[in-house]
Amino acid sequence: MPVPTLSLAAPPGTPFEQLRLPTELSGADGANRARGGTPQIAASDDVAAVAAWLARYRDTPATLQSYRREAERLLLWSVMQHGKPLSSLTHEDLLAYERFLADPQPAARWVMASRKKLARGTPAWRPFAGPLSPASVRHALVIINALLSWLVEAGYLAGNPLALARRRRGHAQPRITRYLSHELWQAVKDAIEAMPAHSERERLHAARCRWLLTVLYLGGLRAAEAAGTTMGAFFCRRDAHGAERWWLEVTGKGNKTRLVPATDELIAELARYRRAHGLPPAPLPGEERPLVLPVIGQARAPKPLSRGALHLVLKEVFALAADRLRARGPEWESRAALLASASAHWLRHTAGSHMTDGQVDLRFVRDNLGHASIATTSGYLHTEDDARHRATEAAHRIAWREGPARQEN
């Protein structure tokens, strides 16, 4: 496949690795290139430098996809819209890029024309689905800062211009808002229990939906973790008191492994799901069957479902539950719309929130979810916010006197 040459007049429908940049935009002579010392990477231009950074995340597909997206957006914007190589960007340039992320213009060049997900490299592909929310902009800048800092450490860049951004210290972690209340979570379970099971395909699909929701909720797993874990990751060992305890070994972000408690309820649901496929109730040590099985075919050596496929299954369940709420009456519309917008990661947030609601020690929630810091886990402490709201409601009042409004002359 020929490598395309950059055309500033063309929309950026080409993945960044396939761009052949002119010398003045390649970064070979970037103004911010490190001039002294010994480089720790072999990259001689910006595309190769970004590729070297991304290569560190090959074993974590979800992280790689997220980091690649932000690095690609920055590189394409830098050369195709700003007319500078990435290795010449200044602090002022990155402030302009921050504003661009909130409103990528011209939209015809940067934003997908339809909601249909297209493969990178197709003519209609664009780097954005639409403007980024403030939270997404902050997330993008965190990733870009990590990229630039690593390139400085690798001896490729002289400095990180994003490091000059004003640092905000002492802010409390924001509370997690994208989670399902106990009421909406019950609506999801009700929808799954009402799924038809007349044919074999319907029966196995309903069983898969129930198991997927179970393992994501009870285990607090990410969708990528559920897609990449096998049945053989379950194991049993005796605790200090001689009781048998089941665990699930999961490899998550940063290729870090953690042990998730497999409760009796989770093991019972695993046995139920395996029996639906004609399998023994307990998995064998080292069993290579994926955690979530295909509905049809591949009985002997089933292939794992992709993270995208699991996402589609969950969106179907959320849409079904939302439709059932709407059928209750118009007063349920707002809750149905919220449920319809939920995604796989909402279940992880729901698991964390419900664990803290149930008074599970915050340290245990942190370890179950694989958080690096308990500050991240504290975002699930909604009960503290609720108590603060009740106390403010009871004690902080303005108490206007009732009476007719005064007419202004």
Q: Which of these three, 99, 129, 164, is where a domain ends?
A: 164
Q: What is the pLDDT of residue 315?
A: 92
Q: What domain range includes position 40?
A: 16-164
Confidence of residue 101 (pLDDT cuts 50, 70, 90): very high
Whether 408 is in a domain gets the answer: no
405, part of any domain: no
Q: Is residue 356 part of a domain?
A: yes
User: Looking at the structure, do residues 160 and 62 belong to the same domain, yes or no?
Assistant: yes
- Asked if 143 and 236 sit in the same domain, the reply is no
pLDDT of amino acid 271: 94
pLDDT of residue 345: 79
- Of the given ranges (13-27, 217-231, 323-337), which has the lowest mean pLDDT? 13-27
Does position 240 have pLDDT exceeding 50, yes or no?
yes
Q: Which of 3-12, 104-113, 251-260 has the highest mean pLDDT?
A: 104-113
Clarify whether residues 209 and 356 are in a common domain: yes
Give a yes or no: residue 229 inside a domain: yes
Query: Per-residue confidence at 238, pLDDT binned at 50, 70, 90?
Result: confident
Query: Do the Cβ atoms of 365 and 382 come closer than 8 Å?
Result: no
> For the segment 126-138, what is each residue's pLDDT rounded down to a tens digit?
889 889 988 889 8
**Residue 143 shares a structural domain with residue 222:** no
> Rounded CA gap, 197 and 206, in Å?
7
Confidence of residue 350 (pLDDT cuts 50, 70, 90): confident
CB under 8 Å, gap of 24 or more: what pairs does 65-73 form?
66/143, 67/143, 67/146, 67/147, 69/127, 70/140, 70/143, 70/144, 70/147, 71/16, 71/143, 71/144, 71/147, 72/15, 72/16, 72/127, 73/101, 73/127, 73/128, 73/140
Note the pLDDT of residue 358.
Answer: 58
CA distance 290 to 326: 35
The 10s digit of each residue's pLDDT in 362-372 is 677 677 766 55
Label residue 125 by pLDDT band (50, 70, 90).
confident
Does a structural domain hold residue 355?
yes
Name residue, tokens 């108490």.
399
Mean pLDDT of the chain: 81
Same domain assignment for residues 238 and 90? no
Q: Do 361 and 328 reside in the same domain of the chain?
A: yes
Regarding whether 247 and 376 lie in a shared domain, the answer is yes
Evaluate whether residue 6 is within a structural domain.
Answer: no
Instruction: Please check whether residues 156 and 271 belong to one and the same domain.
Output: no
pLDDT (mean) for 303-323: 90
**Does 159 lie in the same domain as 192?**
no
Q: Is the residue at 172 inside a domain?
A: no
| pLDDT the model gives residue 151 | 94
Decide if pLDDT at 115 tops 80. no
Chosen domain end from 112, 137, 164: 164
Alpha helices for 277-361 (secondary structure H): 307-326, 333-340, 344-357
Q: Domain total for the chain?
A: 2
Give the whole-number percent of the chain exceeding pLDDT 90: 38
Instruction: Give the residue-averaged pLDDT of 305-330.
Output: 91
For 137-174, the pLDDT digits (tens) are 988 998 999 999 999 999 999 999 988 765 554 444 45
Residues 323, 235 within the same domain: yes
> What is the structure's pLDDT at 169?
47
| Domain presence at residue 176 | no
Percent of the chain with pLDDT over 70: 78
pLDDT of 242 above 90? no
User: What pLDDT sits at residue 4?
Assistant: 36
pLDDT band at 203 (very low <50, low <70, confident <90, very high): very high
CATH number, domain containing residue 261: 1.10.443.10
Residue with tokens 């179907």: 316
Helix (H) / strand (E) containing 373: none
Last residue of a domain, one of 132, 164, 196: 164
One domain, residues 37 and 186: no
Q: Are residues 154 and 204 in the same domain?
A: no
